[in-house]
Amino acid sequence: MTLTKEEIIKRLKSSNLSDRIVITPMLDAEDQLGTTGVDLRLGKQFIFFKDHLHGSLNPKELREREGNLSSYQEEIVIPIRRKITLHPGQFLVGSTLEYLAMPTDLEAQVEGRSSWARLGLLIATATTVHPNFKGVITLELSNHGTIPLELYPGMKIAQIIFHRTESPVSEGISKYKFSIGPSFSKIYQDQYIDYFCREEDQIS
């Protein structure tokens, strides 16, 4: 069941820590709270690919490097009131400005705003935010339009919608829990990589 605005407000103000939704900072709750969700803003940290240096990225190589992506990606910080330009076909990893802490009985879905989608901006994420999650939410930003888009940290970029689970979920383990900025991919931790990514078995 989806939480309404009134239920979200109750959860935000709850004195019971196991029931409370934490979203911080929320500078203008009235503006960010919708009928069934909360608008989230774009953070200041971004990760971009050094695509001019590499022709491809092999997950097995990342495993051998123990996840060191510094030769493939770079993190930058854009101050408030400064912009970052996302060109057509370009991809950036960003995150929400807000830090989120989920209770044990709620999961959430993160969706891009329709207003941005109509301009060509695709805002993808892992979609589901699990119970007990704590951290900022990583956003994958792609410009599918035909003109460059100027993005400013602090602007509303996505919406989070909360749903009740049938029963509370015990503490779980997440690769990206407690993140305070956009997270580099941890695909190298997937156990299948050594088995499937075999150079000698590839067909050219």
The owner of tokens 């931790």 is 189
Per-residue pLDDT of 88-132, as tens digits, reads 999 899 999 999 999 999 999 999 888 999 999 998 765 789 999
What pLDDT, on the 0 to 100 scale, is given for residue 166? 85
Collapsed DSSP state (helix, strand, coil) of residue 135: strand
Position with higher pLDDT, 134 vs 203: 134
Check if the beta carbon of residue 160 is closer than 8 Å to that of residue 127.
no
Q: With cut-offs at 50, 70 and 90, classify the pLDDT of residue 52.
A: very low
Query: What number is the average pLDDT over the span 155-178?
Result: 79
Catalytic (active-site) positions: 140
Q: What is the pTM of this model?
A: 0.77
The owner of tokens 């509303």 is 156
Position with higher pLDDT, 65 vs 147: 147
Check if the beta carbon of residue 97 is closer than 8 Å to that of residue 40.
yes
pLDDT of residue 84 exceeding 90, the answer is yes
pLDDT of residue 66 exceeding 80, the answer is no
Q: With cut-offs at 50, 70 and 90, classify the pLDDT of residue 13.
A: very high
Percent of the chain with pLDDT over 90: 57
pLDDT of residue 193 exceeding 60, the answer is no
- Domain 5-53+74-185 matching CATH 2.70.40.10: the answer reads yes
CB atoms within 10 A of CB 191: 7
H or E element that contains 61: helix 59-64
Which residues touch 63 (CB under 8 Å, ≥6 apart)? Answer: 188, 189, 193, 194
Phi, psi of 194 (to 5 degrees): -60, -30
Q: With cut-offs at 50, 70 and 90, classify the pLDDT of residue 60.
A: low
Query: What number is the average pLDDT over the span 2-30?
Result: 93
Check if the beta carbon of residue 153 is closer than 8 Å to that of residue 44.
yes
Provide the β-strand partners of residue 161: 109
**CA atoms of 187 and 24, how far apart (whole Å):** 28
